Amino acid sequence: MLSYRHSFHAGNFADVLKHSVTIQILQYLTLKPKPIYYLDTHSGAGAFRLFDKEAQKNREYENGIGRLWPLLSELDNCPGLVKAYLETVQSFNPQAELQTYPGSPWFAQHLLRAQDRLDFFDLHPNESQILRQNFAGDKRIHVYPKDGFQACLSQLPPKEKRGYVLMDPPYEVKTDYAKAVETLIQAHKKFANGTYALWYPVVERYRVREMEKAFIDSGLRNIQLFELGIAKDGDKGMTASGMIVIQPPWKLMETLKEGLPFLSERLGAAQGHYRAEQLVAE
């Protein structure tokens, strides 16, 4: 179908969760000097101007990074999860005004080191072309206009033997829910040392329950689930989003349990809600 463009949604509350979790994972993995491999299966363009017509159409960033941006003046009062997120986004906006928002590829480029390797995939022809332009010149990075689900299997296991795989499908096709779970289960069989994160939207709750059950029944160990919501289930549109993390860093749960209540109140007010659960034990 290839109609999804993340530029319409950049910086929304779902991005806040996805990128906050990704920052924590990458910061943990880079504590050790050994190189790591980063695989982004559905990369998008990698960076977005918030004053472009796409971002301005629904102004979704106003209910995400826009509500958090004023906290830069009081970072010491923010949970570590939020502080790390805002400081990283700020480095993408050296001017005082929030003008641009980084996608997952930029977060990875910014946080990873000279010895690390990054592969970005996106099947959308326009997105992959912009992605290639945005990261031209960085020899650590390769951009592929190919299917990210297939890449998740074809690129594993990596030579680095350590790594993070981020899967963020558009879910334009409803079979993507089951396909994402099955792909990650198969990927783990090829690369058991990796950390994996799957982002998902909460539009129809039963689809999320089906994904949870599939992971629980998969035989994989140490799976955590995190959700951030701004409206109750059943309301129109995406009311929440989540991240399912396989083999998470050892302090990720502690960090999210501290930060998610803050985010749910700041972004969702009275209707804000969150989950931080050990879906499958270690």
Compute how many other C-beta atoms are within 10 angstroms of the C-beta atom of residue 259.
26
Does the annotation count 168 as an active-site position?
yes
Quick one: which of 247, 148, 235, 158 has its CA closest to 197? 247
The DSSP string of the chain is -----GGGTTTSHHHHHHHHHHHHHHHHHTTSSS--EEEESS-TTSEEETTSHHHHHH-GGGGTHHHHGGGGGGGGGS-HHHHHHHHHHHTT--SSS--EEE-HHHHHHHHS-TT-EEEEE---HHHHHHHHHHTTT-TTEEEE-S-HHHHHHHT-S-TTS-EEEEE-----STTHHHHHHHHHHHHHHH-TT-EEEEEEEESSHHHHHHHHHHHHTT----EEEEEEESS-TTSSS--EEEEEEES--TTHHHHHHHHHHHHHHHHHGGG-EEEEEEEE--
Point out the catalytic residue in the list 15, 116, 168, 176. Answer: 168
Mind telling me the catalytic residues? 168
